[in-house]
Amino acid sequence: MRFAFTTEQREFAAALRALLANEFPASALREVWDSGTGFSAPLWEQLGDMGVLGAMMAEADGGLGMRPIDTVLLFVELGRAAVPGPIIEHVAVAGPALSGTPYAAGVADGSTMVTTALGGSPYVAHASAAALILNDNGVLSGYAVTPVEGIDGGRLLGVVSGGTIDDLVFDAMAARLRGSLAAAAYLVGISEHMISVAADYARVREQFGKPIGSFQAVKHLMSDALLKVEFAKPALFKAAWGLSVGDGTAALDVSMAKALASEAAYRTSRNTMQVHGAIGYTWEADLHLYMKKAWALQRAWGDAPSHRRIVRQHVLGI
Amino acid sequence: MRFAFTTEQREFAAALRALLANEFPASALREVWDSGTGFSAPLWEQLGDMGVLGAMMAEADGGLGMRPIDTVLLFVELGRAAVPGPIIEHVAVAGPALSGTPYAAGVADGSTMVTTALGGSPYVAHASAAALILNDNGVLSGYAVTPVEGIDGGRLLGVVSGGTIDDLVFDAMAARLRGSLAAAAYLVGISEHMISVAADYARVREQFGKPIGSFQAVKHLMSDALLKVEFAKPALFKAAWGLSVGDGTAALDVSMAKALASEAAYRTSRNTMQVHGAIGYTWEADLHLYMKKAWALQRAWGDAPSHRRIVRQHVLGI
Amino acid sequence: MDLHYTTAQDEFRAEARAWLEANVPGQPLPSFDTAEGFAQHRLWERKMYDAKWSAVSWPVEYGGRGADYISWLIFEEEYYQSGAPGRVGQNGIFLLGPTIMEVGTQEQKTAYLPSMASGDVVWAQAWSEPNAGSDLASIAATAVRDGDEWVLNGQKIWASRAAWADWCFGIFRTDPAASRHKGLTFFLMPLNSPGITVRPIAQLDGDTGFAEIFFDDVRVPDANILGELNKGWSVAMATAGFERGVSLRSPARFTEAAARLVTLWRTHADKADTTLADAVTDVWIQAEGYKLHTYMTVTHMLDGGTIGAEASLNKIFWSELDVRIHELALQILGPEAERIDGPFERWVDGFLFSLSGPIYAGSNEIQRNIIADRVLNLPKGA
Amino acid sequence: MDLHYTTAQDEFRAEARAWLEANVPGQPLPSFDTAEGFAQHRLWERKMYDAKWSAVSWPVEYGGRGADYISWLIFEEEYYQSGAPGRVGQNGIFLLGPTIMEVGTQEQKTAYLPSMASGDVVWAQAWSEPNAGSDLASIAATAVRDGDEWVLNGQKIWASRAAWADWCFGIFRTDPAASRHKGLTFFLMPLNSPGITVRPIAQLDGDTGFAEIFFDDVRVPDANILGELNKGWSVAMATAGFERGVSLRSPARFTEAAARLVTLWRTHADKADTTLADAVTDVWIQAEGYKLHTYMTVTHMLDGGTIGAEASLNKIFWSELDVRIHELALQILGPEAERIDGPFERWVDGFLFSLSGPIYAGSNEIQRNIIADRVLNLPKGA
């Protein structure tokens, strides 16, 4: 029994965090929103160079052959920076499913961007940015996208039509689990970022002659958010381990992780916005770029109630 | 449309409040707990003299012929003092049901104490104190009581056996509605008392060199309790009016009132105990005498979830 | 107590419903936080004014019907049920108007009220400043007397409707020696006055529902002071009382939203999930409770009572109820909740707007302090 | 990361389970907050000590097994699952014991630890004073040096187990010139010392789980100081850290309670009500989350890490989880929840006890301040 990450796992995540802190501040994310492309081509290339895009693909495909436990901290970091584009879909979901296929090399180095349509949504996220869509039947290419306006400028939505499907047999259930897990990790990362942004604000913003962070009401809003996030993490990490070693309760653990992470992220968005006051309700403040990603991902890959029902089935049998 | 009480209604309640403030402070309630009788004989007599015990019985029976709207404020006051014994059962439930029966005179002047067994509980509250039990079949007398220990020393529980039943046809549904309404009113009264006790404590108790009531954490615990209570009241009063005039949605309104009052009372018990700190966890502090009554009555006459299901049936049809 | 409506009230309701059914635009108007939408909403205000529906509770001479609060609540219920447009004239008709009637001179009433009721003059409110938000008393904007005029300087922010409004009202420091709540005066001025610059601020949904207003030697005559010199705080608090209390958020708004949520539940929710059904039922109950609470409050006011700090209870209640209603709607919508331009746009917009509720008109944290201090008489915080 | 237990850990679990199955009393013992129950619980501690189970994580020389934290968690899981009695020796074994091992002298370790592990000496903790509750640093009880002895005066309150315990520990002001956290010293003393008066306090359930302790010229030798003179605060905080952190409330307590709640749901709840089922599922998830969080914390400590203010996160989490578990149980029980002497007595007692969780060991309001100040580095409050 050892509940800790290896030095290698922590160092890879730290390197990614450093890269994103330097290369992808909130201003860069805002540029992506303004550009209307839904992703950052230069960042995508850097993530490819770093090996992140093919991290979970076989080494034979040019990937790093990493398991969920090796990459869960990476998704926390990708979430902390709210990296736009199909990062969850490409890296955690499609990548491993496409290992050993003719698409593998392009996916591993990122030159072929893939998104997925495995959820129950009528809309496909990142369809316009990606070249391929992995759906339950296989790999869709040459499709048309009718865009619809989504809440998150880093996650463009569209209705997909046409295209040619290249049949592929893969474990769609396992793919969904990887997606839910990566989304949960990403939500934990966003939440930690929102907390840190709100704490910074609460230290400097003064009212009644004192920093607002010195008022108990603000302290408790912040503590309550942190509490939710801190107690989502262990469930997240256990689920990542379970998926990696094929533990019997891995699917259950993923549902617990996604339920806890979704609720933590939503609560954090509410409390940190409240701490910001009116400025948190503006388009100019960066907070909304992260809140809106959290609101989209809290439902993508299964919202908290649906994942709790999965746990309920296991615990209570109904 | 006029949502206010008459001067008479308010003055009767004010008189009762004054009587209870003088005659039945917490020390008197504590004596009842210590006595193990579950009610106060002298107070019962005073309430009889005041007309409260027969308030809802016909004048021909020696009652005051009052409707729920005329008595709802009385039950708020009875709750504020956490008056022990079958006050809800005798006054609101059995009294009107026994109008015009041979029992009427004794019930109206209080010389015959009645409790009820119309709920789904295996235990009968106040059975040992009362001489008669009104159940779905009629009036039970000469019964034996096997006491069980209840949480509220002002509401003794027992298992009833034997006795002779005097068949009586009465509107048991209406009786239950009157009981739920009176319990809701009583819970509002207890809640207001717990809030006032905790506010008094927060004004004088000092920590960190200041009254604890000056800390936002304490202010917000208190405000949240008051918020629940203030928004339970209008629903309570509307239900009392509806029962009085035979309004079509009266049953629904009673369920709303009991659900809101039960939740308000429980939240108030939690928040006011937290404001008290360790002293609130003691037997010596008076708070527990009121909290435990609230915990018993939040479930008696239907708890919040069951009453909410009744509203759900009306609103959503499931 | 008699919760039946009178025949007159029933007839008033029928009249309002008939007019609304005949006149409410078939298509929802564009957001009044856009230039085009603002213009269309102004026309709607005019249309209501011509039929004497724009300010039903106002005296007849100023364009109202002299209706009492109960009738006003009835009108609001019909208004929200009819799906009529939002009230772009709200700052004036519901907040400033009642204040002018309370403390204004006859000249001011005659000058401002009819044009306010007709929508010819739409008002923006300018309370907050960059360093005076929750701590409103730390107003720094100044007004200095110069002859029979005042020269205003400073900056206001979060001024709702200011992007396209005609006039604005706010408080300025007229006695530099006084501090906090003292020495403030309530001014009214046209937004096109020389020296005023308006910078719209985009809110969560991208629309510019509020703005910054910069005052650079803006000259305002003595006559534009509302209430007494240096007594602006109490005038402002009267207005804020209206805002937090009954007038800003009439219960009809929430009973209507709760009813829409019930419909959404019927059409889109999994009926076997009683968790969701119970949650929907709970907000329906809360909306009913808020409605009843308001009828009780207005009866109290009709009896000559006033609402003070209790208004803070309302503000917390409706703002948290509004958030909860929309959270549940988005939960029911699931993946559709991520789309903001689709058939469910109103729910997503409503969710974003609801998040401002716990913040504006005094954050709910401040409201809880007010309740503790003034209703429960707890000692003031450090 | 490897969440599989090692063979040695599996064997340890099997050994613990076997012993507990063979030795746990068939009938629950009377509450250790009664004289009779206290005596019986003391005997149980002795029985565990004889089999080396009373303090598994302690070094062998003091009566433990030198088990690491993981094994301790495993033992706790087996212990709660077995329905074994509550630990009357808890204050000593889980709180004071570890502190003595950390800062005590060899003499103190030899003198106090074995008798603590065996239950021969049961310890009471005496932190709070009537005017030093949440504000623990405002300790007023004093200790004045007299030769090689100290003379203690003052009053302690909420001293758990003090009604029947043998010894107690607490902090006293030894430097009258110093204020707040400075000038305090940590003392150990027998409760039968001349000058000590113990007044038991009845708690919510009527039992006397804690007491007031009055010190009237109580003489304590130098040797009974734990840690350095005037450094009592840091010693106390180390102890409190254990209390809020892993040691006081091992997750097994809550996973076991959640499992019992699931059983209660199966036997007594309306299965069509998914609202209740989802709520039960939610607390089951919370209990699992707390367990996993503890395994992560413990691995961190095995790697040489320490837990500081993060302990406050644990304390809030387990105390609120415990309340929630029991609220749901009482909701399921319905009318039976009003009876306290029946077949469901454990649930009702557990509910009452759970309400103390958000208060003792530092109220959850204080814990939230600590998290904000020390984990999130927000500015200290006024």
CA angle D179, D183, D189 (to 5 degrees): 125
A278/C204 CB distance under 8 A: no
Chain C partners of A151 at a C-beta cutoff of 8 Å? 338-340, 348
Partner residue opposite C135 with nearest CB, options A208, A270, A300 = A208
Chain A partners of C363 at a C-beta cutoff of 8 Å? 274, 277
Structure tokens at D30: 């009377």
Burial class of residue B173 in the structure, from the number of CB atoms within 10 Å of its CB (0-12 exposed, 13-18 middle, 19+ buried): exposed
d(CA C318, CA C337): 22
Q: What would the mean pLDDT of D273-294 be, rounded to a whole number?
A: 97
pLDDT in tens, B232-256: 999 999 999 999 999 999 999 999 9
pLDDT in tens, D42-53: 999 999 999 999
φ, ψ for residue D122, nearest 5 deg: -100, 135
Q: Are C173 and C143 in contact (CB under 8 A)?
A: yes
Q: Give, as one character, the DSSP assignment of residue A27.
A: H
pLDDT of residue D247: 61
CA atoms within 13 A on the CB side of C353: 18
The model's confidence at residue D240, banded by pLDDT at 50, 70 and 90, is: low
Strand-pair category, B114-117 with A210-211: unpaired
D382 touching chain C per CB within 8 A: yes
CA atoms within 13 A on the CB side of C187: 28
Q: What would the mean pLDDT of A121-142 be, rounded to a whole number?
A: 97
pLDDT of residue D307: 83
Mean pLDDT, chain D, whole residue set: 94
φ, ψ for residue B125, nearest 5 deg: -75, 140
Contacts of D102 (CB under 8 A, 6+ apart): D238
d(CA D366, CA D358): 10
Residue among A68, A82, A90, A88 at smallest CA distance from A9: A68
Q: Are A125 and A113 in contact (CB under 8 A)?
A: no
Dihedral sign, Cα of residue B277, residue B279, residue B282, residue B288:
negative
Give chain B's length: 318
d(CA C179, CA C139): 9
DSSP notation for A226-254: HHHHHHHHHHHHHHHHHHHHT-TTHHHHH
pLDDT of residue C243: 57
Measure C357 CA to nearest chain D CA, in Å.
Answer: 25
pLDDT in tens, B47-77: 999 999 999 999 999 999 999 999 999 999 9
C272/D274 CB distance under 8 A: yes
D275/C272 CB distance under 8 A: no
Mean pLDDT, chain B, whole residue set: 97
Reading phi first (left if > 0) and then psi (alpha if -120 to 50, else beta), residue C186 is in: beta
d(CA C55, CA C47): 12
Q: Quick one: CA torsion of A279, A280, A285, A288, rounded to 10 degrees?
A: -160
* Secondary element (H or E) of residue A210: strand A210-211
Distances (CA, A) of B281 to A121, B206, D204: 51, 18, 5
The 10 Å Cβ neighbour count of residue D111 is: 17
Does D77 score more than 80 pLDDT?
yes
CA atoms within 13 A on the CB side of D123: 26
Chain C partners of D381 at a C-beta cutoff of 8 Å? 382
In this predicted structure, which of A101-115, A279-293, B275-289, C368-382 has the lowest mean pLDDT? C368-382
pLDDT of residue C1: 96
Q: Are D94 and D72 in contact (CB under 8 A)?
A: no
Indicate the SS3 state at residue A102. coil
d(CA D102, CA B280): 35
Distances (CA, A) of C9 to B6, B312, C66: 22, 30, 13
CA angle C342, C343, C349 (to 5 degrees): 70
d(CA B117, CA B167): 14
pLDDT of residue C145: 97
B1/C286 CB distance under 8 A: no
**Higher pLDDT among residues D237 and D272, named by residue:** D272
pLDDT of residue C136: 86
In this complex, the chains that touch B, judged by 3 or more CB pairs closer than 8 A, are: A, C, D
pLDDT of residue A241: 98
Chain A residues within 8 Å of chain C (Cβ atoms): 119-123, 148-152, 155, 157, 206-208, 212, 215, 217-218, 270, 273-274, 277-278, 280-284, 288, 295-296, 299-300, 303, 305, 309
d(CA C47, CA B21): 58
Distances (CA, A) of A123 to A116, A150, D240: 11, 10, 53
Measure C267 CA to nearest chain D CA, in Å.
Answer: 20
In this complex, the chains that touch D, judged by 3 or more CB pairs closer than 8 A, are: A, B, C
pLDDT in tens, A14-39: 999 999 999 999 999 999 999 999 99
pLDDT in tens, A162-200: 999 999 999 999 999 999 999 999 999 999 999 999 999
pLDDT of residue C196: 98
d(CA A255, CA A248): 13
Does B44 score more than 60 pLDDT?
yes
CA A310 to chain centre: 21
Query: C45, C76, C243, C310: which one is catalytic?
Result: C243
Structure tokens at D49: 């000590």
Residue among A2, A23, A137 at smallest CA distance from A81: A23
φ, ψ for residue D30, nearest 5 deg: -60, 155
Chain A partners of D262 at a C-beta cutoff of 8 Å? 315-316
Residue among A133, A128, A110 at smallest CA distance from A43: A110
Buried b (16+ CB within 10 A) or exposed e, C24-59: eeeeebbbbbbeebbebbbebbebbbeebbbbbbbe
The model's confidence at residue D324, banded by pLDDT at 50, 70 and 90, is: very high
D275/C274 CB distance under 8 A: yes
Query: Number of Cβ pairs closer than 8 Å across C and D?
Result: 12
CA atoms within 13 A on the CB side of D224: 22
The 10 Å Cβ neighbour count of residue D57 is: 22
Question: Is D327 known to be catalytic?
Answer: no
Dihedral sign, Cα of residue A161, residue A166, residue A167, residue A170:
negative
Measure A281 CA to nearest chain C CA, in Å.
Answer: 5
D299/A214 CB distance under 8 A: no
Does D272 score more than 60 pLDDT?
yes
A260/D381 CB distance under 8 A: no
d(CA D308, CA D249): 16
The model's confidence at residue A119, banded by pLDDT at 50, 70 and 90, is: confident
In this predicted structure, which of A132-141, A248-257, D200-209 has the lowest mean pLDDT? D200-209
Written as tens digits, the pLDDT of chain C (382 aa) is 999 999 999 999 999 999 999 999 999 999 999 999 999 999 999 999 999 999 999 999 999 999 998 999 999 999 999 999 999 999 999 889 999 998 999 999 999 999 999 999 999 999 899 999 888 889 999 999 999 999 999 999 999 999 999 999 999 999 999 988 999 999 999 999 999 999 999 999 999 989 999 999 999 999 999 999 999 999 988 776 665 556 657 899 999 999 999 999 999 999 999 999 999 999 999 999 999 999 999 999 889 888 888 889 999 999 999 999 999 999 999 999 999 999 999 999 999 999 999 998 889 999 999 999 999 999 998 5
Residue A139's beta-bridge partner residues?
A134, A166
pLDDT in tens, D55-69: 999 999 999 999 998
